[in-house]
Amino acid sequence: MSGDNTGAGDGPLWLPTDSGFATAAIHSGYVPKDWSYAPVVPSISLSTTFEQDAPAQHRGYEYTRSGNPTRQILEDTLAALDKGKHGLVYSSGLAATTNLIAMLNTGDHVICMDDVYGGTGRLFRQMKKSSNIETDFVDLTDLSKVTAALSKDTKMVWIETPTNPILKIVDIAAVSELVHAFSKDIIVVVDNTFLTSYFQRPLTLGADAVVYSLTKYVNGHSDVLMGAIVTSRDDLKERLAFLQNSLGAVPSPFDCYLVIRSIRTLHVRMPLHMKNAFQIAKFLASHPLVEKVIHPGLPSHPQHQLALKQSSGHSGLISFYIKSPGDSSKFLQKLKVFSLAESLGGYESLAELPFSMTHASVPEDLRAKLGITESLVRLSVGLESLEDLIADLDAALKSSANQA
């Protein structure tokens, strides 16, 4: 069964949400009576090593880099929420990305969405220099461009949807079908950081693996740095588990505990992020000092209908252009409730200038092509009172314009 999801009041009609998500988020990965003292809340296993019954005979765990009880609960929970079989967690989102890239060999070819998180693009560009792994940055919203980019050396297609920071929507099912028809050896990866498994499940749409920066919405409290990969393919899990142990970029048990705690309220937080962001998007769209607003829930978004067909909603991400480019920095400095800071997905509202902050490493010509200009502002709308957030944005826009 699925729950109704009509957005925020007069918002768009998204796909229904999974009515069982809340129960899965609270109970997946952990059964209290599996433990001798049946704690309702999972315990934190801080031990780095585990006593063995005999040489090389352990009880499931031997060394925390290789496996940890608290980490296992988190990995199992993430897999369940994405309708996958295997979850693996890492010390950061980029560590998860690095482990996926580590499956590639010299001479391999990658197709990556052109508009992606700045750190992802920077890493793929560096792989050309260090490992001779060629990456083509392609607009995956155009299937003809995907077809044109495929070659016999292509081994991975990297989708980010919605994209960062332009919020393009890629048709996961269509791209996955096209790529797998060309070669079943190509791994289709989807970065689902912006929506989480609450709003979108790429594995059910044909992707081979889902990658997350858990730092963002999944943790949602801006106090943990962590990444994850979820897959249903046993062969990928075997390769990734080897790399996870060998490269050693694993999170601490305490951080795993914090993310487990956060997942238990994911289904409560995401709808409020969506509600606040959609109302703010509508407010900004009618503001005289705003040139353009980008939000998949608005009919003006070029992939609006695809977003409604593919997802159960949208998070707190909004991008918009201020009419006077020179006012963007002033606007950001005038904000009182929103904090001028990088990152996203926490309960607090953040604002940033991708041009000189999160996407400063993107080559200048690509930034211009994508529309990452000095007038583009990205908002991560949090869980504060909607009226206070709108008043803050309105006052900062007017103040920055009057200061010009």
Residues designated as active site: 65, 117, 191, 216
> Where does residue 379 rank: exposed (0-12), middle (13-18), buried (19+ CB within 10 A)?
buried
The Cα–Cα gap between 319 and 188 comes to 27
Give the sheet arrangement for strand 350-352, strand by strand.
Answer: 290-294, 317-322, 376-380, 350-352, 339-340
Locate tokens 């769209």: which residue? Answer: 285
Beta carbons within 10 angstroms of residue 105's beta carbon: 11
Task: Specify whether the CB–CB gap between 397 and 290 falls below 8 A.
Answer: yes
The Cα–Cα gap between 150 and 300 comes to 31
Task: Specify whether the CB–CB gap between 167 and 294 falls below 8 A.
Answer: yes
| Alpha helical stretches, state H, 11-117 | 21-27, 69-81, 93-101
Residues contacting residue 365 through CB under 8 Å, at least 6 positions apart: none
Residues 231, 91, 340, 299, Cα dihedral to 10°: 0
Residues contacting residue 181 through CB under 8 Å, at least 6 positions apart: none
